[in-house]
A = this chain, B = another copy of it.
Amino acid sequence: MLKSLAEKILGSKKPAIARGISLVENESKQAGELLKLLYKHTGNAYLIGITGPPGAGKSTLTNCLTKILREKGFKVGIICVDPTSPFTGGALLGDRIRMQELGIDEDIFIRSMATRGSLGGLSKKAKEASEILDASGKDFIILETVGVGQSELDIAQTADTTIVVLVPESGDAVQTMKAGLMEIGDIFVINKSDRDGSDALGVALRTMLHLKMTKESDRQIPVVKTVASKNKNVGELYDFIILHKEYLMKNGKLAKKRKENLLKQINLLVNNKLENKFWTAGKKKELEENIEKISERELTPYDFVDNLFYSGN
C-alpha cells in the first residue's frame, strides 16, 4: 500500500502528495517507510525559503513568484509553516483565496503545516514534506514561514536560497535585526515599497549588509524593492533567485550547503530518536516528581540524571 502511495506521489498525483504530507505531519510510523521509498527520487528540486515578520506580505509575494515560475514552465510546491496555530489572523482567508487562484493548477501544490506544541519537530516535518514534493517532480519548492521564531529561522535556513521580506514601517528593521534575520538572508526584499520609509530602510539594510559582507561573503547580497499586491518588481526578485542559484552551482557551494544540511538532518534524526526513546512516560513522571526536590537541594541534578539512565522506566 505504501509502495502504491509512493508511486502515485512519483506520478505527481495531488491526493497522494497530500496523504504523504499528512503521514509526515502526524508522525505516523509509515512516514519513515514512505520517505525511504522516495529518497532516491529527491535532490532535483530547488528550495526557496521565504521568511520575515508577520504582515510583510510574504503570502502575496509567494503567489506572485509562483505565477512567474509557472510562466517559465516550472512545477511548484509551496509549504506554508505556521508554528502557532493552523489559521492565525488572516491566514485562513488568505489560504482559501490562494487555493482558488493557484490550487486548481495541476502543477502547483500548496500545503499549510501547522503544529501546535512540538516546535522542535517542525523543521524536521517541513524538511520531510519538502522531500515528498521534491519526489513528486516539483522544480521549485517554496518554504514560507509565518513568523520569525527560532524554528522558523531553522526552516528558512534549510533552503538553497533564503529570502527575507521586510516592510518600510518603522520598528520592522529593528524587529528584523533582533530576530537574527540579517544573518540568514541570501536576498532581502522590501515589500510594500510604495510606502513611506522604504528608501530609509533600503539604505539602512545596505549599510548593514555591507558591514557584514566585508567579513563573510564574496557575493553582494541584493536588496529588492517590491509591491507584491501590485505585482511590481517580483520579476526582478525572480532574476536574483536564478542568479543566486547559478552562483551556488558554479562553485560547488550548493553541494556543500546541501551536504551540511544533510549532516544536520542526520543529527536531528538521531537526537529525535534518542530523546523519544529516552523520555518514556515513566521518566517524565520521575522528573515531575523530583524537580521540586532538586530545586530544594534535597537531590542533585547529577544523581537524578544518573539514576534516570539506570531506571527501568
Contact = CB atoms under 8 A, between A and B. Distances in A.
Contact of A36 (B43, B180, B266, B303): B303
A97 interface: no
A35 interface: yes
Nearest to A41: B297
A136 to B, nearest CB: 16
A42 B211 contact: no
A266 B304 contact: yes
A291 B263 contact: yes
A194 interface: no
A259 interface: yes
A255 B296 CA distance: 10
Chain A interface SS verdict (over half): helix
A287 interface: yes
A270 B266 contact: no
Q: What is the copy number of this chain in the assembly?
A: 2
Contacts of A41: 297
A271 interface: yes
Interface string A271-307: 1011100100000000100010011011011111110
Interface stretch (A54-62, A88-96, A171-179): A171-179
A302 B32 CA distance: 7
Contact of A295 (B211, B259, B303, B308): B259
Given A171-B211, A259-B291, A275-B271, A265 B301 contact: yes
8 contacts: A42-B297, A171-B211, A174-B177, A180-B180, A265-B301, A266-B287, A269-B301, A273-B309
Interface of A: 32, 35-36, 39-43, 171, 174, 177-180, 182-183, 208, 211, 255, 258-259, 262-263, 265-266, 269-271, 273-275, 278, 287, 291, 294-295, 297-298, 300-306, 308-309
